[in-house]
Amino acid sequence: MIKNTHVIVALSGGVDSAVAAARLLASGLRVSGLFMKNWEDDDTATFCASAADYASARAVAEHLEIPLHAANFAAEYRERVFARFLADYAAGLTPNPDVLCNREIKFDVFWRHAQGLGADLMATGHYARIAPGPDGPQLLAGCDAAKDQSYFLHTLDPAILPYVRFPIGALSKDAVRAEARALGLPNFARSSSSGICFIGERRFPPFLKRYLSAQPGPIVTVDGVPMGEHPGLIFYTVGQRSGLGIGGPGAAWYVAEKDLRENTLVIAQGADHPRLFQASCPVAPPHWLGRAPALPWCGSVKIRYRQEAEPARLTHDDRRGYTVHFARPQRAVTPGQSAVFYDGTTCLGGAVIELARPPGSPPPGP
């Protein structure tokens, strides 16, 4: 019976999870909230932000008259997310911690803890959907293309999908806020969170410098003209414009490449410079949310959040490994980010974009 089904919502203090909980409650389910604390350090701003989030989650739970549990997963986050985040930066990549955080914490550690509290299901305020498919539940993009978060969910273990609910996946952000206001939720006007997953807004270079050493090196143009010195490649990402410290006449300068071997930052002038575009990119062995498609596969691919899916093809051979070929060259293809595969609105899975491999080098293992 639905009234005996217990769903635990990841209640963050934000409006999205609050409306998700309210919708589940209105559907007749037995609802509880679980607030996660996943980051601890001696930063006063971080402590205050976490306390404010918890106070907001508690106010929502009291308004809805549901129990609120709290758990500290900071140790798991440091071991399973943050350590990988730092290792990737040290290797010259630009990782996406939200992808890893969803797989390792929100839909693994959280779910295991929720089951220990008697949960039959878990729910979050993600803008995504679950729908029946020929081989079981499928992950679908959220209906609001501007807020769709399926990109961040493509590495989930497909075995968890039957137990997951995304109650606001069919709504826009404006509709969520309007519903929160109509329900009298105390956080209906609260601003959305941003920054590093669970760590929040930071001045990124000083934060990263606390954990990684940086080696200064030269900045050169794509034609090899010296343009200055960078404080460390770890502080830059492909396509970046701000923070280069390159002035002068003409169009703005952008990061075209991070040459790890020479510790050199290569820059190109103009947002449409050819060196900022790639027709293909190598990727790691893909993670599939269902049955792996036959290769070569043709569909659409996102190489970053807030991007329309672009027509592309995925191939594999023993010499080159896995490669994504774009129907039209893509700007700022960034190693460490994810290429996420779609068939229409269905998210099939994805793969991490790799650094270009030198000719003749062996592909990564499966």
101 is catalytic: yes
Q: In whole angstroms, give the CA distance from residue 286 to residue 182.
A: 43
List, by residue range, all CATH 2.40.30.10 domains of the chain. Answer: 277-352
Catalytic residue selected from 101, 143, 281, 298 = 101
Between the two ends of the chain, the Cα-to-Cα distance in Å is 43
Q: In whole angstroms, give the CA distance from residue 214 to residue 156.
A: 33
Q: What is the pLDDT along the chain (366 residues), one digit of tens a residue?
A: 466 899 999 999 999 999 999 999 999 999 999 999 988 765 545 555 778 899 999 999 999 999 999 999 999 999 999 999 999 999 999 999 899 999 999 999 999 999 999 999 999 999 999 999 998 999 999 999 999 999 999 999 999 999 999 999 999 999 999 999 999 999 998 887 655 555 555 567 788 889 999 999 999 999 999 999 999 999 999 999 988 988 888 899 999 999 999 999 999 999 999 999 999 999 999 999 999 999 999 999 999 998 999 999 999 998 889 999 999 999 999 999 999 999 999 999 999 999 875 444 455 544
List, by residue range, all CATH 3.40.50.620 domains of the chain. Answer: 2-183
Residue 164 CB neighbours (<10 A):
21
Residue 30: strand pairing partners: 6
Q: Which CATH superfamily is domain 277-352 in?
A: Translation factors (2.40.30.10)
List, by residue range, all CATH 2.30.30.280 domains of the chain. Answer: 214-271
Q: Domain 2-183 class?
A: alpha beta
* Beta strand segments in the chain, E: 6-10, 30-37, 68-72, 121-123, 128-131, 138-141, 164-165, 217-221, 226-230, 253-259, 264-269, 277-283, 287-288, 297-302, 310-317, 321-331, 338-343, 346-352
197 is catalytic: yes
CATH code reported for the domain at 214-271: 2.30.30.280
Distance of CA 250 to the CA centre of its chain: 35
33 burial via Cβ count (<10 Å: 0-12, 13-18, 19+): buried
The set of residues, in sequence order, having a beta carbon less than 8 Å from that of 326 and lying 6+ positions away, is: 278, 279, 280, 301, 310, 311, 312
Catalytic residue selected from 197, 281, 298, 347 = 197
